[in-house]
Amino acid sequence: MRNLPTLTDQPFDLIVIGGGINGAATARDAALRGLRTILLEKNDFAGGTTSWSSRLIHGGLRYLEYFEFHLVRESLHEREVLLRNAPHLAKPLQMTIPIYRSGSRSFRIIQVGMVLYDVLSYDKSLPNHRMLSRQKTRQLFRAVDADGLAGAAQYYDGQAEHAERLCLENILDAQTAGATVLNYAKVEDIHLTNQRITGLTCRDGLTNDTFEVATHDQTVVVNTSGPWVDEVCGLSESPVSRGQKIGGTKGSHIIVDAFPGAPDSALYVEAKSDGRPFFIIPWLGQYLIGTTDERYDGALDNIKADAAEVDYLLAETNAVLPAGRLTREDVRFTYAGVRPLPYAEGKKAGSISRDHILHDHSKEGATNLISLIGGKLTTHRQVGEEFVNAAFRKRGEAVPACPTHTRPLPGAILLDDPRVAQWCDRYTPLLSSQTLDHLLGIYGARTLDLLALVDASPELAQPIGEGLLDIQAQIVFAVRHEMAHTFVDILRRRTTVCMHRNYGFDVLPVVAQVLREHCGWSEEMCDRNIRTYHQFMETNCIPDYALKQESPSLQTA
């Protein structure tokens, strides 16, 4: 499948560097509009910021305070497009803001914000907001701290529980439309001739070989490498960029099991200690709590939540939901990422714009390079559209109509589609209805392709681990149909298994056995993967304090 040496024979119209959500959306749009496209991702698809986000498809209520009305409007429009084109992956999420008399925003101010949010989403399919009295709030959220409570605001946003798969489905659609999409393909060198990028040298992360990507006179190169944008710009011998473009901020999350007083729907809370907003979000039977927001200029490749961030999120959750009494022991998983925000000297992290800029490097040394500065998960389709429009303009060609407004993602299906009931009837004896619902929530219409593996090998209907709804067929499907190459790809990004129990360590023998039996992986390959899996969890997800405690549950290497 990865015939890399041949890439030099086929110059591309558009080269996308970075396979996060924005690169994926750009490659998809470009291929659909007929450009010969290649996407190069150094890690796995969605392996960067995209897999470390809060997974909200939101307008960004907070941006109203900075008068970024166009950004809110654009995001709310994109929220609607996603709910329509990917209903299996983007779902409505009810959000409640408890309002306290001691808070920095009064009941009335929040009400004004809510009205504006509704006005800016006038064409939405979701309900408008409602304001709740103190009494009503107490009735609906008994566990919320009542001290100084003035009431609440309730509204809707969207949630992509599997943000990684949203990215993957863009990649798969790009591939179907003819794009070459490569994970584990790192751009190491950018070649410039007469201020044009005329080729790239890349390294295949699976074989360690290098390969070349060829260009022609009209090739446009798009740099969607998120927080790595400046690093990628630095890969050419002559400068292609002037000054720092990205000024990232670090955001961390914790995942906990359901706890006493945990709400049925999401809470958007102002932290008591510093007034920062954070979310407590029901997520796949657990709770995703975050995020922090701190200036970050450290190494980008392996980032993890530190003890102070974990303690802050625990303390603030306990402050609003005191019955929870959450401690470090309750934390099942942590993750952190760097927001690729525009560099803004001296600004407070929370006040830096979340808007995106397409930065054309023509005047800086590369006439066919455009970089993305900023951008949200929510607005990826719009970013893709803008990049492809810009690419056509750069090529001096008329811009064809963008197809992604209305084109569903590959797994798009509504749960009330009659086909869903038929599939459920067909597979119910083998799989519980809970399992089928779980699979439909991950794969949507592609569930049928997944279950074809079960038809051929019924033993693949077994769960990956005790108490998990994920089944062994997902391991094979990830490798055969979704370009997964490692245990981390399978357990962290094609599925969410690692975030459900003991960092996924318990299920590693099962994964190895399935891969040996069904995908021809050798014993040595599986052992190597188990080691790198442990390394990944220790470097990115298990807090240092937990590693130091040498908890017996982590001793499974």
Contact residues toward ligand FAD (CB under 6 A) are 17-23, 40-43, 47-50, 52-56, 58, 186-187, 224-228, 232, 251, 291, 337-340, 372, 375-378
Q: Rounded CA gap, 349 and 251, in Å?
A: 10
Q: Burial level of 522, CB count in 10 A (0-12/13-18/19+)?
A: exposed
Instruction: Give yes or no for a contact between 445 and 418, defined as CB atoms under 8 angstroms apart.
Output: no
Shorter beta-carbon distance to ligand FAD: residue 188 or 425: 188
Q: Which residue is nearest to ligand FAD (CB)?
A: 20
Shorter beta-carbon distance to ligand FAD: residue 381 or 518: 381
Provide, rounded to whole angstroms, the least separation between the CB of residue 264 and ligand FAD: 20
Provide, rounded to whole angstroms, the least separation between the CB of residue 512 and ligand FAD: 26
Provide, rounded to whole angstroms, the least separation between the CB of residue 185 and ligand FAD: 7
Provide, rounded to whole angstroms, the least separation between the CB of residue 56 and ligand FAD: 3
Which token pair is 166? Answer: 């949203």
Which token pair is 478? Answer: 């990830």
Q: Which helix (H) or strand (E) holds 13?
A: strand 12-17
* Residues making up the chain, counted from first to last: 557
Shorter beta-carbon distance to ligand FAD: residue 19 or 543: 19
Instruction: Give yes or no for a contact between 198 and 215, defined as CB atoms under 8 angstroms apart.
Output: yes
Shorter beta-carbon distance to ligand FAD: residue 95 or 469: 95
Shorter beta-carbon distance to ligand FAD: residue 281 or 469: 281
Enumerate residues 6+ apart whose C-beta is below 8 A from 168: 24, 45, 46, 482, 493, 494
Shorter beta-carbon distance to ligand FAD: residue 83 or 515: 83
Which token pair is 399? Answer: 């811009």
Shorter beta-carbon distance to ligand FAD: residue 111 or 201: 201
Instruction: Give yes or no for a contact between 285 and 317, defined as CB atoms under 8 angstroms apart.
Output: no
Q: Which helix (H) or strand (E) holds 76?
A: helix 69-85
Shorter beta-carbon distance to ligand FAD: residue 215 or 447: 215
Shorter beta-carbon distance to ligand FAD: residue 376 or 518: 376
Provide, rounded to whole angstroms, the least separation between the CB of residue 90 and ligand FAD: 11
DSSP string, 185-235: EEEEEEEEETTEEEEEEEEETTT--EEEEEEEEEEEEEE--GGGHHHHHTT
Residue 387 phi/psi, 5-degree rounding, is: -60, -45
Buried b (16+ CB within 10 A) or exposed e, 457-488: eeebbebbbeebbbbbbbbbbbbeebbbbbbb
Enumerate residues 6+ apart whose C-beta is below 8 A from 507: 464, 465, 468, 491, 497, 501
Shorter beta-carbon distance to ligand FAD: residue 50 or 435: 50
DSSP string, 97-159: EEEETTSSS-HHHHHHHHHHHHHHTTT-SSPPPEEEEHHHHHHH-TTS--TTEEEEEEEEEEE
